[in-house]
Structure 1
Amino acid sequence: MDILIVDGYNIIGAWPNLRPLRDKDFNSARDNLINQMAEYKAYTGYRVIIVFDAHLVKGIEKKLKNHKVEIIFTRENETADERIEKLVKELNNIQTQIHVATSDYMEQWTIFGQGALRKSARELYNEMTAIKQRIEKKVKVTQQKKPKSKIHLSEEVAEIFEKWRRGQR
């Protein structure tokens, strides 16, 4: 099983499409990241966990599930880095490959030492961009293959029907 743990606010601050959104509407940037990670999960099959610092969400630790993506808001005095390190220790086993997405250099080395693979914000962004392009291409191909009629007709018969529809003989 592959697991992707995402340092939420670190990624929001690093991605060119989320940084300006964060400056205007913090919640929208967070929701946008969650939606993109749901697409990532659907495409790759990875278990995705996004960890946010308790920034703007004071109090006890909070866990949510949105679009089958796990979202963790840390406790008030716990950083996302600390929570990510705990998750890596808890989830790491011989059958699991953990990837951690963060551009925090020290965090990358810490989790790498615990057996997880690191993925920079740029690498995740490029991977997400490629995934979106593949999805768009697949949708386009599917739409082109989609029959114009629910009943399979030969090209010749379809042309005759089209002429009738237009009032031509």
Structure 2
Amino acid sequence: MSHARIEEVSDSDSDPSEGRLSELSDSDFDEREILKARPSQVAKPRDAPQAQQQQQALLDPTLVPSGDGTNFQPTTDDAKYRDFQCLYPVYFDKNRSRAEGRRVGKELAVENPMAREIVNACGRLRLETLFEPTKLHPKDWSNPGRVKVRVKGGDNANVQSSMFLHLHLEE
């Protein structure tokens, strides 16, 4: 670990990196000479598309496979999911207070929940679910992911309310 130290410097000390501008010539700034001195950093054109695909896969969380081997595709029509109930991992976090976003009791909450775990729990309950890995809760921006579940109507006739859903997801 480095330790910063303060040194006293007087104005009379000269800076060794400074020189006289009158001593510089135009050839010192010739771009061709500077470019010749640099090592070649040009990538091979056939490797560029593959590198771009790998970079895109790292940046796009929708391309990350889940633990059970399924891939989630982004939605094209958000209107179909407008009446779904949103669930964020912070709602079930044991380390958070109610003011910090937790919505279930401490006895039902878990340590550091992930959105993927909520999706898996909804899958086990056979609920109509939408996973949005890029969405964030404003009070939990470091844990990405949002799960949307249909509460009213649809195939989820056994879900009476959002609180019923919160309680049954933790069981």
Q: Quickly name the TM-score band, shorter chain normalised.
A: under 0.3
TM-score (norm 2): 0.27
More helix by share: 1
Q: Which has the larger radius of gyration?
A: 2
Q: Which has the higher contact order (CA 8 A, sep 6+)?
A: 1
Q: Which has the higher strand share?
A: 1
